[in-house]
Structure 1
Amino acid sequence: MVAGAVAAALLIGLLLGGTLGLFDRVIGGPKPETIASASLESMRAQSRLNVFAARYVSVTTSKVSRFGFSNERTLILPGDVRYEVDLAKLGDRDVRWDAGSKTLTVTIPDVEVAGPEVDLAKAREYGGGGIIGAIANTQPQLDQANRAAAVTDLRKQAAADTPMRLAREAARQAIARSFAMPLRAAGFEDAKVVARFPFESGTRDPSYIDQSRSYNEVLEEAARKRR
């Protein structure tokens, strides 16, 4: 959930804020790269982030003809879908800090559609019966065809331009907040966070750091320098 991601980011920020004294003593203050690395590890631990949800309704009609007669049934089927980001796909190279502009750029995996979860309790079916229905018992065939077509239609609606645009914007905002809050809690008030998708990235700026480091790596390096 988005709220969970924000809560985790806030916790990271509080922890970082509480350890500023340690960093000041060991390496002369926290670094944005280290904070971003900790945020990245926290995000990956959540696995999947639910950024948006929507309900759609499909209306499908199937028809069968036999012996010169025809029969048709219409199904009205609502279904819920979730729009998720697979945070496990976030890599170290997807998080880049530009010291010159004080901008953290996060390249996030594209939004995935989960579902639909159909609401059979609110499904409505109409039609059927008639001569062909009585002779050949076509209702089960029509119902099966309608349900398959309805699920396909729900997925198509979910993947349309408008809901995908809304879901991607929600993902950008959620990811940006999750990285921005720890930075601000650690004192980097003027840091900017830009979340974008791979197809929006273009070429990578070579001035970005090659790889973010974890807390342990930073502390180990500082310990080696003191020897």
Structure 2
Amino acid sequence: MANDLKTDLRTDERSSISPEVRRDRRLARTQAAPWLIVILLLAAVAWLGWRAFLYEEEGDPVGSAMLAFEKQNSLTVFSSRFEVVAESEDRRGILGVDLLESRQAAIIPASVEYRLDLSGMDRNQFVWDAEAETLDVTIPTLRISRPNLDEAQAKTFTEGTYVSRDASVDLARNNSEQAERKAVAFAKNPEVLALARQAAKDAVRQNLAIPLQVAGYGDVTVNVRFEGEDTP
């Protein structure tokens, strides 16, 4: 008797709901299913993206440091702009007799850049001291760019009774070659190179200390030295 009563109640309940309401409920369930799938897919994509790009193993400051370097394969740490002076002579004649002699001096602005190639660095070049919260980093030798001569801004001084077109071209070419050699020598000057090396250490120290601090490792001390350089 009780079972018959429950059956009658469920029957009465279904009969009391209009066909329009039942149709709306089925439509709502049908429309909600695709949105649920989309939400699940978005959550999966977000997790995979976090895992691939943001996730870091806990307690691995070396991994965090390498991640900071992976974003930039080459780092320009110092640039120098200066002027070089070049002077050339040109003699032209007939049958070995110099008939025309000219001279040209040029003051040419030049610039060079000092870069670090970070693409080849691996874990062996990072040493983490957890007790002292210190990261020791060994960086590769600086690379010096080819001098950039700003010949459009050069100041030239030419002497000679008559300077032919060919003589003018030769004088300018010789001065350019001479200026480039002098610029290379200046870029390797010990005093200038020392400034560039110190700038490189400061740049690496800053590029690592801040990401490590953001990653939650606190105020980490970063020591930087070049390959072959004695540990301070």
Q: Is TM > 0.5 for Structure 1 vs Structure 2?
A: yes
SS of 1:68's equivalent in the other structure is strand
User: Partners of 1:190 and 1:148 in 2: how far apart?
Assistant: 50
Aligned to 1:39: 65
1:58 aligns with 2:84: yes
Partner of 1:97: 128
Matching residue's letter, 1:138: A
Matches within 5 A, 1:65-104: 65-66=91-92, 67-69=97-99, 70-104=101-135
What residue identity is the alignment partner of 1:96? V
| AA at the equivalent of 2:187 | A
Q: What is the aligned partner in structure 2 of residue 110 from structure 1?
A: 141
Partners of 1:190 and 1:49 in 2: how far apart? 23
Q: Secondary structure at the match of 1:164?
A: helix
What amino acid maps onto 2:134 in structure 1? T
Q: CA deviation at 1:171?
A: 0.9
Following the alignment from structure 1 to structure 2, what is the Cα–Cα distance between the partners of residues 74 and 116?
Answer: 19
Determine the structure 2 residue equivalent to 1:156: 185
Q: Normalising by structure 1, what TM-score?
A: 0.68
Cα-to-partner distance string for 1:107-140 (whole Å, 9 max, x where unaligned): 0112111132221221121114425x35x94221
Q: How many equivalent pairs are there? A: 175
Aligned residue for 2:140, secondary structure, equals: coil
Please give the alpha-carbon distance, in whole angstroms, between the structure 2 residues aligned to 1:168 and 1:192: 19
Match of 1:172 in 2: 201
Task: Report the counterpart of residue 208 of structure 1 in structure 2.
Answer: none
Q: Which of 35, 57, 75 pairs up with 1:49? A: 75
Deviation at 1:45, TM superposition (A): 3.2
TM-score by length of 2: 0.67
SS in 2 for 1:88: coil
Structure 2 letter corresponding to 1:78: P
Bigger CA radius of gyration:
2
Structure 2 residue identity aligned to 1:81: V
The answer (yes or no) to whether the contact 1:116–1:151 under 8 Å persists in 2 is yes
Runs of at least 5 residues in structure 2 that lack an aligned partner in the other structure: 1-49
Amino acid at match of 2:62: A
Q: CA deviation at 1:190?
A: 4.7
Q: Which structure would you say has the larger RCO, counting Cα contacts within 8 Å and 6 or more residues apart?
A: 1
User: Quick one: which amino acid aligns to residue 146 of structure 1?
Assistant: N
- Give the CA deviation at 1:184: 2.3
Counterpart Cα distance in 2 of 1:183 and 1:45: 15
Write the deviation string for residues 48-103 of structure 1: whole angstroms up to 9, x where unpaired.
10111111111110113342353211111101211111111212211111234332
Q: Distance in 2 between matches of 1:186 and 1:46?
A: 18
Which stretches in structure 1 are left out of the alignment for 5+ residues?
1-14, 203-227
